[in-house]
Structure 1
Amino acid sequence: MFSLIFLPAKSQENNASLVETTCKSTPFYNLCVSTLESDPDSSRTDIPGLAIIGANRLNAKVYDSFKEIASLLEEAKDESLKKALVECDDHYKTIITYNVLSVIKTVRTSRAYVGRDAMNDAAKEALACASGFENQPTFPIKDSNKVVHDLSAVVSSIITLLVSE
């Protein structure tokens, strides 16, 4: 059983400041702020909690992209497009099964660097997905893939604050 703890307004203001200060250390400030502030828990957590919020939001974006890839695969007629989508699907499976879980498991431990490295790898997986479409006329998940890449970089940057402490 847990109990709700209501923080005084000053503490919530300090956490809003924590979100802003934390996001200033990331490469995508606006994405960071909008992602973290979209979760009500961000107003009452610490930096590891912010990293977990970011990882959870990343996980949701990855699942959305994963479903989009599956839908595109069902409709694809062109073999080279299918191949690019299958490769992208594999990259996203890696993000889902390894990268995001590593953050959640390690961010509150002395092994937070493992989560940081996993987020760097997630960003690389998104780039690898994109590279599979270089010879295609379009990249059908370009926007969602960019969000996955950028949010991975944001979470990595947040975890870097923990690792360097």
Structure 2
Amino acid sequence: MKNNIISFVLLQIAFSFTFLPETHQLSSSTNLNLVETTCKKTPFYNLCLSTLQSDPRSSKADVAGLAHIGADKVKARATATLRQITVLLKGAKDPKLKTALTECLDLYNTIIKYDIPVAIDAVVKGNPKFGVESAADAANEANDCERRFIKSPISGSNKAVHDLSSMVASIVQLLL
């Protein structure tokens, strides 16, 4: 009787390990499909796909998790842009350029310290309306920064923050 129980337990363990990789593969495949489906509902499909697939957290995330990942990427890109603005500001001689960079410094501080944290908090607390608004505000502030220049030295960065923020707003919109 004891041998039968041990044999049964060993058979169950072997059976579990036999199908475990397939189950994991199905889960990863399902999440890859969720990323693709979600990204198709954003204005920047390729950016969304590359952004989310580059983060290992996306393999286990739901839509709210994907929004959080996107918001983290916005914050990282906005922080890099803020550093870029600070460096440019230190070397700026032209008063119009200094003014534009100073105004952009304020806009990017708002994105980093207010907009993105509010968007993340809204998603976590289940109030996506504020998340959509905050992510859209971040996109608008990046555009506002760009408009401050006659010839912007940070066009690529402003576009990246705008597009990522718009992508996040679209993902959060799916939670409404």
What's the TM-score once normalised by structure 2's chain length?
0.86
| Match runs of 1:37-56 below 5 Å | 37-56=53-72
Q: After TM superposition, which residue ranges in structure 1, 4 or more long, deviate above 4 angstroms?
A: none
Letter in 1 for 2:35: V
Corresponding residue SS for 2:174? helix
Per-residue deviation, residues 109-138 of structure 1 (Å, max 9, x unmatched) = 3311111100011111011101101xx2x2
Count of aligned pairs between the two proteins: 155
Unaligned residue ranges in structure 1 (runs of 5+): 1-5
Which residue of the partner structure matches residue 37 of structure 2? 21
Letter in 1 for 2:152: F
Q: How far off its partner does 1:27 sit? A: 0.2
Q: How far off its partner does 1:95 sit? A: 0.3
Which residue of the partner structure matches residue 100 of structure 2? 84
Which residue of the partner structure matches residue 3 of structure 1? none
Paired with 1:110 and 1:45, the residues of 2 have a C-alpha distance of: 15
RMSD: 1.1
Q: 1:104 aligns with which of 120, 123, 127?
A: 120
Percent of pairs identical after alignment?
48
Q: How far off its partner does 1:92 sit? A: 0.4
Which residue of the partner structure matches residue 131 of structure 1? 147
Letter in 1 for 2:124: R
What's the TM-score once normalised by structure 1's chain length?
0.91
Which residue of the partner structure matches residue 5 of structure 2? none
Which residue of the partner structure matches residue 158 of structure 2? 145
Higher RCO (Cα < 8 Å, 6 or more apart) = 1
Indicate whether 1:159 and 2:175 are aligned: no
Per-residue deviation, residues 118-159 of structure 1 (Å, max 9, x unmatched) = 0011111011101101xx2x2111001100000000000000
Letter in 2 for 1:87: E
Which residue of the partner structure matches residue 16 of structure 2? none
Corresponding residue SS for 1:63? helix
Q: How far off its partner does 1:79 sit? A: 0.3
Higher helix share: 2
Q: 2:91 aligns with which of 72, 75, 82?
A: 75
Corresponding residue SS for 1:26? coil
Q: How far off its partner does 1:108 sit? A: 2.8
Corresponding residue SS for 2:175? helix
Corresponding residue SS for 1:162? coil
Per-residue deviation, residues 41-76 of structure 1 (Å, max 9, x unmatched) = 101110000000000011000000000000000000
